[in-house]
């Protein structure tokens, strides 16, 4: 059973002595933050507050705008045994996230107004801002465009057939054109499915050695190249989900230099693990796109460093234990991501000095909201209090049995990570990590 998230209403609070890091304001300073009725009343050094303000000591902690994950799978509707909007949001808060985008590959598909609205209603019961991504085509079948105007009006912030690409080039073109009418990006799962039948891991020397069918990296490169040409032709915005190959990163980099409207994201597991992790046949190392070669990992880290890759997103993908306990080729793709993201970012990027703290924070706060045309979240007086508080130095051990998610499919069980969430504030609610 997942853990229960015990948040509480907190109208008046003083966060004292935190190091504020806000990329949108280019702010990096030790300050106090006074909160009243869910909004930031004052930001200044050494604020004195009345006794009825709850004091939250935050010396040696980092305070940032609330983290935002633009790529999660909450499985509702259809597979509530694996995750619900409520349990997914609990996992998000435990990972330091105050906002998420839910992807549309549910059952039924998120291709109707009422499904978008139902997901938003469920999200409204939590302390997380939930923004549905709707299907680009009806049923995600790649045959006919979904009712984009209706879905955008209902609250969909983007369109995607995530789990598969929009294979038909003409339909992909029309999707970009129509989505652009509503100022929404197309989020593309970049994979040429004709090259990937039966594949289970990255095609290469490791797959050959251990006898698993491969998913060739060129299948991602081909689809990225096609979508960049369509973005150039239409002038519309394409966002490449979970980019994973060196060539795909370089294609996006070149397109950005030419001024194309293209953005992309990478997951923590794609900058932490290589396909060597599959050698033990642990199905928690099976994801799509698959874990790639070391040269691909180096390329995505370089893409993070030069801002070719603007966003870090988790691709949080819960699966039941029964499904993941199948043989490797039969097990489903996907792993959990929300509750380990902060620790993996701090441990593998910030502490190693591959990425400074400010740009790392930007990739999980300002950048995803900007890409989705959502209002910026900043730590400034008069604005909503939407905040993540964490330690850069606290060490902790990943224990999947203590996750707030309904599922347990992580390859990071038992890992010691540096960087832990202390607390999250949003919608007038405060959650403090009982394990800190």
399 is known as an active-site residue = no
C-alpha–C-alpha distance, residues 196 and 22, integer Å = 41
User: Which residue is catalytic, options 32, 296, 315, 393?
Assistant: 315
> Between the CA of residue 75 and those of 22, 89, 173, 320, what are the distances in Å?
32, 12, 28, 11
Cβ-count burial 363-398 (b if 16+ within 10 Å, e if not) = bbbbbbbbbbebeebbbeeeebbbbbbbbbebebeb
> Between the CA of residue 112 and those of 116, 156, 197, 374, what are the distances in Å?
7, 10, 30, 22
C-alpha–C-alpha distance, residues 261 and 415, integer Å = 38
Catalytic residues: 315
């Amino acid at each position: 059973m997942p853990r229960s998230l015990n948040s509480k209403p907190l109208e008046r609070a003083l966060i004292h002595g935190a190091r504020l890091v806000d990329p949108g304001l280019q702010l990096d300073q030790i300050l106090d933050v006074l909160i009243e009725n869910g909004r930031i009343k004052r930001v200044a050094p050494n604020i004195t507050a009345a006794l009825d303000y709850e004091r939250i000591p935050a010396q040696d902690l980092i305070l940032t705008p609330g983290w935002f994950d633009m790529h999660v799978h909450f499985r509702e509707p259809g597979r509530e045994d694996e995750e619900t909007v409520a349990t997914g949001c609990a996992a998000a808060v435990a990972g330091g996230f105050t906002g998420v985008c839910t992807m549309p590959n549910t059952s039924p598909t998120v291709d109707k107004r009422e499904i978008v609205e139902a997901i938003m209603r469920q999200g409204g019961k939590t302390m997380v801002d939930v923004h549905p991504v709707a299907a680009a085509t009806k049923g995600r079948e790649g045959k006919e465009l979904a009712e984009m105007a209706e879905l955008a009006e209902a609250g969909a912030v983007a369109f995607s057939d995530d789990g598969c690409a929009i294979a038909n080039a003409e339909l992909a073109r029309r999707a970009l054109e129509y989505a652009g009418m509503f100022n929404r990006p197309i989020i593309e799962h970049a994979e040429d499915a004709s090259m990937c039948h039966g594949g289970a891991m990255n095609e290469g020397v490791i797959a050959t050695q251990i006898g698993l069918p491969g998913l060739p990296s060129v299948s991602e490169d081909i689809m990225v190249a096609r979508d960049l040409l369509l973005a150039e032709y239409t002038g519309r915005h394409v966002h490449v989900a979970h980019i994973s190959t060196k060539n795909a990163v370089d294609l996006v980099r070149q397109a950005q230099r030419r001024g194309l409207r293209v953005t992309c994201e990478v997951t923590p597991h794609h900058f932490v693990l290589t396909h060597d992790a599959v050698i033990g046949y642990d199905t928690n190392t099976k994801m799509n796109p698959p874990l790639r070669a070391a040269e691909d990992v180096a390329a995505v880290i370089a893409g993070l460093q030069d801002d070719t890759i603007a966003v870090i997103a988790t691709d949080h993908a819960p699966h039941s234990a029964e499904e993941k306990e199948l043989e490797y080729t039969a097990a489903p793709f996907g792993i959990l991501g929300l509750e380990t993201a902060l620790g993996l970012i701090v441990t593998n990027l910030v502490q190693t000095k591959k990425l400074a703290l400010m740009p790392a924070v930007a990739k999980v706060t300002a950048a995803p909201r900007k890409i989705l045309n959502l209002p910026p979240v900043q730590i400034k007086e008069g604005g909503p209090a939407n905040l993540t508080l964490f330690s850069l130095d606290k060490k902790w051990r990943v224990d999947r049995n203590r996750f707030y998610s309904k599922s347990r499919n992580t390859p990071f069980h038992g890992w010691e990570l540096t960087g832990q969430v202390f607390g999250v504030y949003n919608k007038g609610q405060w959650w403090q990590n009982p394990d800190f």
